[in-house]
Structure formats: structure tokens, C-alpha cells
């Protein structure tokens, strides 16, 4: 099976969960072709973390969204205010 490379940026305090995270450049993650957002979240250790929203190439998606080679994924923590 082929591999795909996706670029990931984390927002809020999510970056604290990954020691190797580079806030300026994000992460490059290799996944298997056919993997989707949920597989990426699991790989990052965020599968059980409450998240705000996720976008792939600028479009809001859910965990069952597919990923493709070169996808730009942005993961946001929940936003609270008051």
C-alpha cells in the first residue's frame, strides 16, 4: 500500500501534547493511503481528546473525512470565552 504525507498544524494548547511539535512549521506525518482524519488523530495521540474543529485544505471536516497526499490539516482546541 502507498503512503501519503500530510502537513499538520495544531492550535491552542494542543501542541503541548507533542514534544516534537514545531509551532512555526507544524508536523509532517506519513500515513497509509486510505487513512483519514481519525487515523491521523490516533497517530498523534489525540484520538480521545476533545477537539474544537478540524479543517483539511481549508474546509471543515469530521473524523471520518479522507486524507490525501499533501493535505494541510489544522486541528483546533475547543474555544471558550465569556
Q: Tell me the average confidence (pLDDT) per consecutive run of 10 residues in the chain, 82 residues long.
A: 94 88 93 96 92 96 95 91 64
Going along the chain from its start, the domains and CATH numbers come out as 3-76 (3.10.20.30)
Given this model, what pLDDT does residue 82 score? Answer: 62
Given this model, what pLDDT does residue 18 score? Answer: 87
Secondary structure element (H or E) that encloses residue 56, with its range: strand 53-56
* Confidence (pTM): 0.91
Question: Quick one: which of 35, 40, 33, 39 has its CA closest to 1?
Answer: 33
Question: Quick one: which of 61, 32, 59 has its CA closest to 51?
Answer: 61
Given this model, what pLDDT does residue 30 score? Answer: 97
Amino acid at each position: 500500500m502507498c503512503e501519503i504525507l500530510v502537513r499538520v498544524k495544531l492550535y491552542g494548547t494542543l501542541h503541548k501534547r507533542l514534544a516534537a511539535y514545531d509551532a512555526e512549521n507544524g508536523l509532517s506525518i506519513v500515513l497509509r493511503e486510505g487513512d483519514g482524519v481519525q487515523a491521523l488523530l490516533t497517530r498523534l495521540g489525540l484520538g480521545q481528546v476533545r477537539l474544537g474543529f478540524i479543517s483539511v485544505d481549508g474546509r471543515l471536516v469530521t473524523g471520518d473525512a479522507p486524507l490525501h497526499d499533501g493535505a494541510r490539516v489544522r486541528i483546533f482546541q475547543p474555544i471558550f470565552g465569556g
